[in-house]
Amino acid sequence: MKTKKRMNIHIGEYHASCHPTVIYTLVGSCVAVCLYDPVRKIGGMNHILLPGQADMKRFDMPARYGINAMELLINKIMRLGGERRSLIAKAFGGAHLLPSIPKENGVGRKIAAFVLEFLKKESIRVVRQDLEGHESRKVYFHTDTGEVFLKRIQPMYYKWNLVSEEQEMLRRIRKEAEKPSKISLF
């Protein structure tokens, strides 16, 4: 059996192929979208850093931004012979990795919401998704089958129960502070 070509993409990059290829990336708060035309067996993946659109006057890697990354990937698949109306999508990432930022303000959640809204507006059906949470993900996308293999990566520096531990400590300190104590005169 012939081995497939492998292509690693990073933040702000995208790749598509009409030949059997495994495209892979590592996402934390970023989002990777895999688009696949199951009729023509053409697929691709992007790695989105920010929701929205790049300021083309500054032109700083436009594929880092959601709209640009999605349109560039769709156009590349179409140039390879894919049909926009046949595309299906799988989306991964958007983790909340910084405990100091409230979850509702996290960029991962915003990118994930952007991607899902974009795909809905473009009538591209999302067949699988693994978004948000607290884990990074290594995503392996097979362009000839549309299969995705996902490996979750536990965070190394994020103590998940830190907030609850701090709240418990504060409760104990307040309780101790309310107790009467001996007074010493100096």
Report the CATH number at residue 151: 3.30.1330.200
Backbone φ and ψ for 114, nearest 5 degrees, come out as -60, -50
Looking at the domain assignment, is residue 179 inside a domain? no
Q: In which band, very low, low, confident or very high, does the pLDDT at 59 lie, cut at 50, 70 and 90?
A: low
- Mean pLDDT, the chain, integer: 87
Rounded CA gap, 147 and 128, in Å?
10
Looking at the structure of the chain, the number of domains it has is 1
Its pTM stands at 0.80
Quote the domain boundaries for residue 143: 5-158
Looking at the domain assignment, is residue 171 inside a domain? no
Backbone φ and ψ for 3, nearest 5 degrees, come out as -80, 150
Kindly state the average pLDDT of the residues 35-58.
Answer: 87
Looking at the predicted structure, is the pLDDT value of residue 93 above 60?
yes
Least confidently predicted of 43-57, 63-77, 138-152, 162-176: 162-176
Looking at the domain assignment, is residue 175 inside a domain? no
Query: Do 57 and 47 meet the contact criterion of CB atoms below 8 Å apart?
Result: no
Looking at the domain assignment, is residue 133 inside a domain? yes
Looking at the domain assignment, is residue 168 inside a domain? no
Using the 8-state DSSP alphabet, how is residue 2 labeled? Answer: P
Looking at the domain assignment, is residue 184 inside a domain? no
Kindly state the average pLDDT of the residues 49-74.
Answer: 78
Q: Which of 13, 17, 14, 2 is nearest to 142 (CA)?
A: 17
Tokens for 107, please give them.
Answer: 């960029």
